[in-house]
Amino acid sequence: MPFDPLKVAKSVEEVVCRGKKRKYYRFRWTRFYGGSATADVVGCNLRCVYCWSWKYVTQPEKYGKFYSPSEVAAILNHFLQKHGGIARMTGGEPTLCFDHLIDVLERVEGEFVLETNGILLDEEKVEALASFDNLFVRVSLKGVDRESFEKITGAKGEFFDRQIRALELLAEHGVPARPAILLNLFRREELVRLQARLLRISPRYILELEPFSDYGGALKRLREKGITVYSLEQYS
């Protein structure tokens, strides 16, 4: 039975948020974005079958450690001072424990990429994000329409509209953003239709197309759901 990701968000926050602290399962330096100080959060409000952080998403009570905003920022700033590059928050859903996120953003020294599914980004939250001139938001779309969103995430298909609405709000408030999607779960013509819809929101919304990688048993879960992973050849 499809679930309500807003209700799931509240229940997950009870596990991964503790006042201004939140749970993380690791901090690392990665090659993404030309080099990034990366904070991997525990917990999410979706259950995407291809998720590379599956165990940290589905069992948030078992993993991670609580960190304050100042502790997180200190770790990220240390990486930035040592390696340069940008800071990044990813793994689960970073907009859970939103007050914690804002406090981290206030302390990080340098560019910051927020990777989110966008479902929790209402107007009030986007207004708060718009106050940061060092922020870039990457919205990971979980489908090309309501039907594919529901099949991939387990959440009610209507919440795909909230992903689109998040992109609209980010554009309206002038927050630099980009939509992204896992490329080879969808047919070429489906991606073309989605791209046309996004361009009607903003001419800057060019889809970032990410090829599928089999992390953490993702391929097995996709097959169990009857979701096809298409050959990359069809997109050339």
Kindly write down the DSSP assignment for every residue of 198-229, as one continuous string: HHHH-TT-PPEEE-----TTHHHHHHHTT---
The dihedral formed by the CA atoms of 116, 190, 200 and 46, expressed in degrees to the nearest 10: -20
pTM for the whole structure:
0.96
Look at residue 232 in the predicted model and tell me its pLDDT. 86
What would the mean pLDDT of 98-112 be, rounded to a whole number? 97
130-171: pLDDT as tens digits: 999 999 999 999 999 999 999 999 999 999 999 999 999 999
Look at residue 69 in the predicted model and tell me its pLDDT. 98
Per CATH, the number for 5-235 is 3.20.20.70
Give residue 13's pLDDT band: very low, low, confident or very high (50, 70, 90).
Answer: very high
> In the 8-state DSSP scheme, what is residue 92?
S
What would the mean pLDDT of 15-40 be, rounded to a whole number? 96
Lowest-confidence range among 9-13, 23-27, 227-231?
Answer: 227-231
Nearest C-alpha neighbor of 175 from the set 143, 130, 128? 130
Strands 65-67 and 208-210: unpaired
The answer to whether the CB of 48 falls within 8 A of the CB of 152 is yes
- Name the token pair of 158: 């209507």
Q: In the chain, where are the structural domains located?
A: 5-235
Question: What does the chain come to in residues?
Answer: 236
Amino acid at 187: R
Distance of CA 113 to the CA centre of its chain: 10
What would the mean pLDDT of 170-191 be, rounded to a whole number? 96
Look at residue 172 in the predicted model and tell me its pLDDT. 98
Give residue 234's pLDDT band: very low, low, confident or very high (50, 70, 90).
Answer: confident
Nearest C-alpha neighbor of 171 from the set 121, 110, 234, 228? 121
- Give the chain's largest Cα–Cα span: 49
Q: What is the mean pLDDT of the chain?
A: 96
Among all chains, which residue has been given the structure tokens 């979706």? 46
3-state secondary structure of 190: helix
What would the mean pLDDT of 34-42 be, rounded to a whole number? 97
Give residue 23's pLDDT band: very low, low, confident or very high (50, 70, 90).
Answer: very high
Look at residue 57 in the predicted model and tell me its pLDDT. 93
